[in-house]
């Protein structure tokens, strides 16, 4: 004899809960993207190697290519994590960290260096310059967020508006200084502002990787808190989360990650948006424990796949960032037209 069906207080039939997926099926999308990324990495290291496999020359070429793989991995981690965290803090999956003016600030600092020192700016390289440049971006972000999130001015939409205005202002100042440069100085500046994997200096890689790894560990340990923050201010506060402190912390972490990525390879406006949006499409839920690894894996597959195809098949390795930025911008327009600014 069947048990009587209990109706809900509204008189509707109860909806049975969906059965939980096995753990291996939950991790399957993440495992697939990382396996594909490893295959692309192996292909980049070994494909079209003119030396005899196993010889000393073979391993020399492999090591030289491994340096570029390290840069690619670093950029993928920084851009993916920064964009996902930025979407969590703003509760909006259309925005990108560049809207806060980070890319414009990088362009301004590079333009100012060439404007003041001329072509001699190419000799101003090294750890102190990197630390000063990254420190300037972090101080800018911390001061801006601390000011806007203090007292009665605590408003995320005001923060985004100020970021847009500052970005336009930085761009205008940069354009003014660029018009004062000589052709040779402008050529030097253009090479610095063009995002390219080849711009990465492997001497900075250990320091940048240490910073990115430290932030990644910190974010992973607070992934459940960020799940609550993503619910919005009212829900997070009602669940006992210090929403303002968590949002400011997230935005500072975003500033550090973006500054590391920009310092290594130059501005990449839509790459983070591209990998984060794809991760949202393939993720089975909205938890950061699934989205962050998936976004990192998709970021690795995107950069490694584009590098291998364009470099070894079309002999156009310098267009990797151009193609990715074009694809990311196109996806941004599609999402914007379909969903609007929600």
In our burial notation (b when 16+ CB lie closer than 10 A, e otherwise), range 227-266 reads: bbbbbeeeebeeeebebbebbbbbbbbbbbbbbbbbbbbb
pLDDT in tens, the chain (342 residues): 556 666 666 666 666 666 666 677 777 888 999 999 999 999 888 887 777 777 888 888 888 888 788 888 988 899 899 999 988 988 878 778 777 777 787 788 888 888 887 767 666 666 676 777 777 777 777 777 666 666 565 666 777 777 788 888 888 888 888 888 888 878 777 777 766 666 666 777 888 888 889 999 999 999 999 999 988 888 888 888 888 888 888 888 888 888 888 877 777 878 888 888 889 888 888 888 889 999 999 999 988 888 888 887 777 766 777 777 777 777 777 776 776 555
Decide: 100 and 163 in contact? Cβ < 8 Å: yes
Q: At a CB cut-off of 8 Å and minimum separation 6, what does 142 contact?
A: 252, 255
Query: Residue 205 burial (CB < 10 Å; 0-12/13-18/19+)?
Result: middle
pLDDT value of residue 8: 63
pLDDT value of residue 296: 93
pTM above 0.85, yes or no: no
Q: At a CB cut-off of 8 Å and minimum separation 6, what does 80 contact?
A: 272, 275, 276, 279, 292, 295, 296, 298, 299
pLDDT value of residue 207: 83
Tokens of 157: 């939409």
Q: At a CB cut-off of 8 Å and minimum separation 6, what does 169 contact?
A: none
Decide: 314 and 305 in contact? Cβ < 8 Å: no
Q: How far from each other are the two terminal CA atoms of the chain, in whole angstroms?
A: 50
**What's the topology of domain 66-341?**
ABC transporter involved in vitamin B12 uptake, BtuC (1.10.3470)
Alpha carbon 10 to its chain's center: 45
């Amino acid at each position: 004899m069947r048990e009587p069906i209990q109706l809900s207080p509204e008189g509707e039939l109860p909806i049975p809960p969906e059965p939980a997926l096995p753990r291996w099926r939950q991790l399957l999308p993440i495992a697939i993207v990382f396996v594909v990324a490893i295959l692309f990495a192996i292909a980049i290291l070994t494909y079209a190697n003119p030396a005899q496999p196993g010889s000393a020359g073979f391993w020399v070429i492999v090591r030289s290519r491994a340096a570029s793989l390290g840069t690619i991995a670093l950029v993928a981690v920084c851009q993916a994590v920064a964009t996902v965290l930025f979407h969590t803090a703003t509760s909006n999956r259309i925005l990108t960290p560049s809207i806060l003016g980070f890319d414009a600030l990088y362009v301004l600092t590079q333009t100012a260096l060439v404007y003041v020192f001329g072509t001699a700016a190419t000799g101003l390289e090294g750890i102190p310059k990197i630390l000063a440049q990254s420190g300037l971006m972090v101080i800018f972000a911390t001061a801006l967020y601390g000011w806007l999130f203090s007292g009665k001015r605590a408003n995320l939409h005001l923060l985004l508006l100020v970021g847009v205005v500052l970005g336009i202002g930085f761009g205008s100042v940069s354009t003014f200084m660029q018009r004062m440069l000589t052709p040779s100085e402008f050529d030097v500046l253009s090479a610095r502002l063009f995002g390219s994997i080849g711009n990465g200096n492997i001497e900075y890689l250990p320091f940048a990787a240490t910073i990115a790894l430290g932030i990644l560990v910190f974010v992973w340990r607070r992934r459940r808190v960020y799940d609550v923050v993503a619910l919005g201010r009212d829900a997070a506060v009602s669940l006992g989360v210090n929403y303002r402190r968590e949002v400011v912390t997230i935005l500072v972490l975003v500033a550090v990650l973006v500054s590391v990525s920009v310092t290594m390879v130059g501005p990449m406006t839509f790459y983070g948006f591209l990998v984060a949006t794809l991760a949202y499409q393939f993720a089975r839920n909205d938890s950061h424990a699934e989205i962050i690894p998936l976004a990192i894996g998709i970021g690795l597959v995107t950069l490694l796949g584009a590098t291998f195809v364009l470099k070894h098949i079309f002999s156009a390795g310098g267009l990797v960032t151009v193609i990715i930025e074009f694809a990311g911008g196109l996806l941004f327009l599609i999402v914007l037209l379909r969903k609007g600014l929600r």
